[in-house]
């Protein structure tokens, strides 16, 4: 074997060896239980972002570039899955990306959608608050923050407030204020909900939103009407009716109104509160 051939062979052999070693190493660090490799958590596969202030300092002016780098890291991290069950660094990554690029709308939106589902609802809300400060004209920031309050916190009043803020922004979809009304209704703040639906109904240029808000108004008016009837019933009989039909039977009202939303009404026999019947 000539020297040249031996060199060529050696190059390929050693390159192949490094390749095999790398594959095995990656597989070991990714799938071996953390305790066996002597750490409490498999930190090797997690990105280790710098703190936002340090990242800004070492970017030497290229903050958007560094934000992009962390954005790509974040996508790879989230898209690659985690054998540890939780994306511990997810919120940290969204934070550093949006600190480096405070006007990066897509990063806030993605964070507000992904973070709560991965167990970071509070971090998502904090991200939304940061987004509202950095992008004061964006309707998306309060809109998505409102969704987090609704879906993950069941805090309908906060959700409604966020949607009301979103509705004041330019380019906000016409349905935004309608949603604010829905959330106030969910939170049992019916008078507030009624006022919002009324404003929406009178001002919107969107046919669908006008039709829906009209139905909501009618539904709430029926609810108020039934509440008055329930109060009269109690005055007369000293107790609350068991159902809306009782109001008809005792001739308090002529008939039970039919909600345009296609839902029935129920009455709480303990408090007399009128609500939508469970379907």
Partner 1 sequence: MKYKVLWAITLNTFRETLRDKLLYSLVGFAVLVIAASLLAGSVSLGQDARVIQDFSLTAMLVFLLIITYFIGTQLVFKEVERKTIYLVLSKPVSRETFYLGKFFGLCLTILVAGLIMAAMFLIVLYAKTHSVPVAAYFAVGAIILEAWLLTAVSLLFSSFTSPLSSAIYTFGVTLIGHGSATVWLLSQKASPVMRGILEGVYYLFPNLEKFNLRNDVVFNLSPDGTQVGLILLYFVGYTAFLLILGVAVFRKDEF
52/100 Cα distance (integer angstroms) = 7
- Closest to partner 1 by CB, 7 vs 53, is 53
165/183 Cα distance (integer angstroms) = 13
DSSP-assigned beta bridge partners for residue 266: 275
Q: Is 190 exposed, middle or buried (0-12, 13-18, 19+ CB in 10 A)?
A: middle
From 46, 64, 118, 155, residue interacting with partner 1 (rule: CB under 8 A): 64
Q: Which stretch binds partner 1 (CB under 8 A): 32-40, 99-107, 192-200, 211-219?
A: 99-107
- Closest to partner 1 by CB, 109 vs 176, is 109
Of 147, 134, 153, residue with least CA distance to 175: 147
Of 99, 146, 140, 141, residue with least CA distance to 121: 146
CB of 79 to partner 1, least distance (A): 8
- Closest to partner 1 by CB, 74 vs 167, is 74
Q: Which stretch binds partner 1 (CB under 8 A): 10-18, 40-48, 101-109, 207-215?
A: 101-109
Angle at 117 between CA 72 and CA 186, to 5 degrees: 135
CB of 157 to partner 1, least distance (A): 33
From 10, 21, 37, 75, residue interacting with partner 1 (rule: CB under 8 A): 75
CB of 270 to partner 1, least distance (A): 51
Of 176, 168, 218, residue with least CA distance to 198: 218
CB of 68 to partner 1, least distance (A): 5
46/196 Cα distance (integer angstroms) = 46
From 1, 2, 38, 60, residue interacting with partner 1 (rule: CB under 8 A): 60
| Contact of 115 with 123, CB cutoff 8 Å | yes
From 14, 28, 41, 65, residue interacting with partner 1 (rule: CB under 8 A): 65
CB of 109 to partner 1, least distance (A): 10
Q: Is 71 in the site for partner 1 (CB under 8 A)?
A: yes
Task: Compute the half-sphere exposure of residue 215: CA atoms within 13 Å on the CB side of its CA.
Answer: 13
Q: Is 68 in the site for partner 1 (CB under 8 A)?
A: yes
CB of 246 to partner 1, least distance (A): 57
The DSSP string of 15-43 is HHHHHHHHHHHHHHHHHS-GGGGTSSS-G
Q: Which two tokens stand for residue 246?
A: 């009782």
Residue written as token pair 């019916």? 190
From 24, 27, 32, 106, residue interacting with partner 1 (rule: CB under 8 A): 106
From 95, 110, 164, 213, residue interacting with partner 1 (rule: CB under 8 A): 110
From 22, 51, 62, 269, residue interacting with partner 1 (rule: CB under 8 A): 62
CB of 59 to partner 1, least distance (A): 8
Q: Is 54 in the site for partner 1 (CB under 8 A)?
A: no
Of 122, 159, 123, 133, residue with least CA distance to 144: 159
Q: Which spans of this chain sit near partner 1 (rule: CB under 8 A)?
A: 57, 60-65, 67-68, 71-72, 75-76, 101, 103-104, 106, 110
């Amino acid at each position: 074997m000539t020297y040249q051939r031996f060199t060529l062979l050696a190059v390929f052999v050693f390159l192949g060896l490094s390749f095999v070693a790398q594959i095995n190493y990656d597989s070991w660090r990714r799938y071996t239980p953390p305790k066996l490799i002597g750490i409490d958590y498999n930190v090797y596969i997690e990105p280790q972002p710098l703190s936002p202030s340090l990242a800004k300092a070492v970017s030497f002016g290229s903050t958007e570039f560094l934000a992009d780098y962390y954005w790509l890291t974040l996508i790879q991290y989230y898209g690659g899955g985690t054998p540890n069950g939780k994306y511990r660094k997810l919120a940290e990554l969204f934070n550093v990306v949006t600190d480096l690029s405070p006007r990066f709308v897509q990063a806030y939106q993605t964070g507000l959608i992904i973070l709560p589902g991965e167990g970071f609802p509070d971090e998502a809300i904090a991200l939304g608050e940061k987004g509202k400060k950095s992008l004061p004209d964006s309707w998306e920031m309060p809109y998505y923050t409102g969704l987090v309050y609704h879906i993950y916190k069941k805090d309908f009043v906060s959700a409604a407030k966020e949607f009301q803020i979103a509705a004041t922004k330019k380019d906000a979809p016409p349905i935004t204020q309608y949603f604010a009304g829905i959330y106030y209704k969910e939170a049992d703040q019916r008078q507030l909900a009624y006022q919002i639906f009324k404003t929406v109904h009178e001002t919107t240029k969107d046919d669908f939103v006008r039709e829906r808000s009209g139905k909501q108004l009618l539904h709430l008016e029926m609810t108020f009407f039934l509440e008055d009837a329930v109060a009269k019933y109690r005055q007369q009989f000293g107790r609350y009716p068991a159902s809306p039909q009782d109001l008809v039977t005792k001739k308090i009202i002529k008939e039970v109104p039919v909600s345009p939303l296609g839902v029935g009404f129920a009455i709480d026999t303990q408090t007399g509160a009128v609500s939508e019947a469970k379907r």
